[in-house]
Amino acid sequence: MKKWTGLLATMLMLVSFLAACGQGTKSEGANQLKDQSAGAGKEAAVSGSKEITVYTALEDDQIESYLESYKSTYPDVKVNIVRDSTGVITAKLLAEKDNPVADVVWGTAATSLLVLDQNGMLEPYSPAGVEKVTPEFKDSQNPTHWVGIDAWETAFAVNTVELKKKGLAIPQSYADLIKPEYKGLIVMPNPASSGTGFLTVSGLQQLLGEEEAWKYMDKLNENIATYTHSGSKPAKLAGTGEYPIGISFGYRSIQEKKKGAPVEVVFPKEGSGWDVEANALIKKADIKPEAKQFLDWAISAEPMKKYNENYAIISIKDDAAGIPEGYSKDPVSQLIKNDLNQTAKNRDATLAEWTKRYDSKSEPKQ
**What is residue 212's predicted lDDT score, i.e. its pLDDT?**
98
Report the candidate in 134, 169, 173 with the shortest Cα–Cα distance to residue 154.
Answer: 173
- The DSSP-derived string for 68-103 is HHHHHH-TT-EEEEEE--HHHHHHHHHHTTTS---S
Span 306-340, pLDDT tens digits? 999 999 999 998 777 889 999 988 899 999 999 99
**What is residue 366's predicted lDDT score, i.e. its pLDDT?**
77
Q: Are 119 and 60 in contact (CB under 8 A)?
A: no
Residues of the chain where predicted confidence (pLDDT) is lower than 70:
1-49
Span 92-131, pLDDT tens digits? 999 999 999 999 999 999 999 999 999 999 999 999 999 9
The 10 Å Cβ neighbour count of residue 340 is 21
Residue 169 DSSP symbol: P
Provide CB contacts within 8 A for 90, sequence distance 6+: 23, 108, 109, 112, 115, 116
Ramachandran area for residue 166 (φ above 0: left; ψ -120 to 50: alpha; else beta): alpha
Residue 142 DSSP symbol: S
**Alpha helical stretches, state H, the chain:** 5-11, 37-44, 60-73, 86-95, 110-118, 160-166, 174-177, 195-208, 210-223, 233-240, 250-258, 289-298, 301-310, 340-345, 347-358
Amino acid code (one letter) for 334: Q
Helix 347-358 / helix 195-208 crossing angle, nearest 10 deg: 100
**What is residue 115's predicted lDDT score, i.e. its pLDDT?**
97
Q: Are 358 and 189 in contact (CB under 8 A)?
A: no
**What is residue 49's predicted lDDT score, i.e. its pLDDT?**
57
**What is residue 328's predicted lDDT score, i.e. its pLDDT?**
85
Does the N-terminal peptide bond of residue 143 adopt cis geometry, omega within 30 degrees of 0?
yes
Residue 290 DSSP symbol: H
The mean predicted confidence, pLDDT, of the chain is 89
Provide CB contacts within 8 A for 203, sequence distance 6+: 154, 271, 272, 273, 274, 336, 338
Identify the burial level of 320 via C-beta atoms within 10 angstroms of its C-beta, where 0-12 means exposed, 13-18 middle and 19 or more buried. exposed
**What is residue 157's predicted lDDT score, i.e. its pLDDT?**
98
Report the 3 state secondary structure along 277-289. EEEEEECCCCCCH
pTM for the structure as a whole: 0.86
Provide CB contacts within 8 A for 168, sequence distance 6+: 181, 182, 185, 244
Q: What angle do CA 92, 94, 98 make, to 5 degrees?
A: 110
